[in-house]
Chains A and B, each alone.
Chain A
Amino acid sequence: MMRFYDDLRVGDRIELGSHLFTAEDIKIFARQFDPQAFHIDEDEGARSHFGALVASGWHTASMWMRKLVDYHKREAEALRQRGERIPEVGPSPGFRDLRWYKPVFAGDTVTYSYEVIAMRVSQSMPGRGLVTVLGSGTNQHGARVFSLESIAFFQRRDPTPP
């Protein structure tokens, strides 16, 4: 959400867009970062408890980040064209409760979103607010495949000294 901390509200929800996971992409990512047999070979995937080639969970999660960054860039461009201030967002100190509910198979399309679930002003960085979002991904059958609670620092519009 390309907004200042002060413009965000708990409950705000944003659709980030979709990504088709091809067999080729699944294998390219996995060969580099997660070369377990069920992520790099169709036959091994079929023999595994997954029953087919399945994307690395880190691939599913990394694509959420890509969709988030793309969304922020579109929003920043829109602000730029309107001549408005562009807030700084990031960096993130981490995430918690990442879940891979169901496998993402070759040919699946995952639609990503996020929702603001908590906000607080940063103690260590007065010009920033700490925003917790629930990111999630849903496949073409409407089943949730992925979620996480991600934390990021958002710039405050007019930080008042404490």
Chain B
Amino acid sequence: MCTPLAKLYFEDFQPGHMAEYGPRLVTREEIIAFAAQYDPQPMHLDEAAGQKSLLGGLSASGWHSCGIMMRMICDGFMLNSASMGAGGVEEVRWLRPVRAGDRLTLRVTVLETRISKSRPDMGIVRIRYEMMNAHAECVMTMVTPAMFGRRPGEASS
């Protein structure tokens, strides 16, 4: 999954494959803009309110972190793949606050792969994502089964 130009199909994902993407700078402006639209709680909108909260300072909405992670996934490899979306997410953990000024990197690990029983032209790739800040602290993890089209000519075999 590290070849930059060839389009990635289900067959290109193998258990144990790892890749890293980023860093991606998180700005104060985008934290507040996301929160105003999707998660307008005080600790995501205002520094003073963040200080008073359990998060100890202005911090990004967890859903914003999900969006940032998804964008890093898209730019990292998903847009260059035969992605067919995902039926869901097994688990997301928000482990530490994401702050303005954080530079986030994304580590991608392929856990397992299988061909869809109901749709043999499609495969399911179970992937673990770990988002780290510049202090090498893990801020968020996600495990998700993503769907990818099979390489043309492979589906009948």
B101 on the interface (CB 8 Å rule)? no
Q: A85-98 interface mask toward B, CB cutoff 8 Å, 1 = contact, 0 = none?
A: 00000111111111
B38 adjacent to A66 (CB under 8 Å): yes
| Given A36-B78, A99-B88, residue A62 in contact with residue B39 (CB < 8 A) | yes
A35 adjacent to B79 (CB under 8 Å): yes
A69 adjacent to B85 (CB under 8 Å): no
B86 on the interface (CB 8 Å rule)? yes
B67 adjacent to A34 (CB under 8 Å): yes
Binds A, one of B7-15, B68-76, B127-135: B68-76
Q: How many whole Å from B62's CB to the nearest CB in chain A?
A: 6
Q: Which residue of A lies closest to B75 (CB)?
A: A35
Q: How many whole Å from A103's CB to the nearest CB in chain B?
A: 8
A34 adjacent to B70 (CB under 8 Å): yes
| Given A32-B67, A33-B71, A62-B63, residue A57 in contact with residue B86 (CB < 8 A) | yes
B92 adjacent to A94 (CB under 8 Å): yes
What does DSSP make chain B's interface, helix, strand, loop or mixed?
Answer: mixed
B54 on the interface (CB 8 Å rule)? yes
Q: Which residues of chain B (61-106) have a CB below 8 Å from chain A?
A: 61-63, 66-68, 70-71, 74, 78-79, 83-95
Q: How far is the CA of A92 from the CA of B94 in the complex (A)?
A: 7
A63 adjacent to B38 (CB under 8 Å): yes
Chain A neighbourhood of B27, CB < 8 A: none
Q: How many whole Å from B157's CB to the nearest CB in chain A?
A: 21
B2 on the interface (CB 8 Å rule)? no
A97 adjacent to B90 (CB under 8 Å): yes
A56 on the interface (CB 8 Å rule)? yes
Q: Number of A residues contacting the other chain (C-beta, 8 Å)?
A: 32
A32 adjacent to B79 (CB under 8 Å): no
A33 adjacent to B78 (CB under 8 Å): no
B87 adjacent to A65 (CB under 8 Å): no
Q: B24-65 interface mask toward A, CB cutoff 8 Å, 1 = contact, 0 = none?
A: 000000000000011111010000000001110000011100
Q: How far is the CA of A32 from the CA of B93 in the complex (A)?
A: 22
Q: Which residue of A lies closest to B73 (CB)?
A: A34
Q: How far is the CA of A57 from the CA of B90 in the complex (A)?
A: 14
Apart from A33-B68, A58-B66, A69-B41, what are 16 other A-B pairs with CB-CB below 8 Å? A33-B67, A36-B79, A36-B83, A36-B85, A56-B70, A57-B86, A61-B66, A66-B39, A66-B40, A69-B39, A90-B41, A91-B62, A94-B92, A97-B91, A100-B86, A100-B88
Query: Which 8 pairs of residues, A with B, have the shortest CB-CB distance?
Result: A33-B67, A99-B88, A94-B93, A98-B89, A62-B38, A96-B91, A62-B63, A94-B92
Q: State the A residues within 8 Å of B (CB).
A: 32-36, 38, 49-50, 56-58, 61-63, 65-66, 69, 73, 90-101, 148, 153
13 residue pairs bridging A and B, Cβ less than 8 Å apart: A33-B68, A35-B79, A49-B84, A66-B37, A66-B38, A66-B39, A66-B40, A92-B62, A96-B91, A96-B92, A97-B91, A98-B88, A99-B88
